[in-house]
């Protein structure tokens, strides 16, 4: 799981409180233990959490342990990164994206 202290765990239980009622920019990484591309993307997401500390909150949600939220946002493939701003889903990246693509998306919304 997350090795960075700046990556928070999102669950079906805390999603509304932590993300939908949150302010500012949040990034949610929807992943699963068995997903190879998810494991490759994990360290990139953790690095971005450290890089953007104070500017953006970063969460990881295990889709196997939390089925409600991924289904609510129509997640069909993982990894999927969804960006939220002030509780609204504003952008989405599907698949193992290069770090610079993720950074461009973050910069666009900060």
Could you tell me the residue ranges of all domains in the chain?
A: 7-109
Residues 6+ apart with CB under 8 A from 71: none
CATH number of the structural domain 7-109:
3.40.30.10
Three-state DSSP state, 109: helix
Is 99 designated active site? no
Q: What is the pLDDT of residues 45-103, one digit of tens each?
A: 999 999 999 999 999 999 999 999 999 999 999 999 999 999 999 999 999 999 999 99
How far apart are the C-alpha atoms of 19 and 58, rounded to whole Å?
10
- The structure's pTM equals 0.95
Is 101 designated active site? no
Assigned token pair, 30: 């929807």
Out of 10, 38, 41, 81, pick the active-site residue. Answer: 38
How far apart are the C-alpha atoms of 68 and 57, rounded to whole Å?
21
Out of 19, 25, 35, 102, pick the active-site residue. Answer: 35
């Amino acid at each position: 799981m997350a090795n960075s202290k700046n990556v928070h765990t999102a669950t079906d239980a805390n999603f509304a409180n932590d993300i939908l009622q949150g302010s500012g920019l949040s990034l949610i990484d929807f992943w699963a233990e068995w997903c190879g591309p998810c494991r490759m993307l994990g360290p990139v997401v953790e690095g971005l959490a450290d890089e953007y500390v104070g500017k953006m909150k970063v969460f990881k949600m295990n889709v196997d342990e939390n089925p409600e939220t991924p289904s609510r946002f129509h997640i069909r493939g993982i990894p999927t990164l969804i960006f939220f701003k002030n509780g609204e889903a504003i952008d989405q990246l599907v698949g193992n994206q290069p770090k610079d693509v993720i950074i461009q998306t973050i910069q666009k919304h900060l």
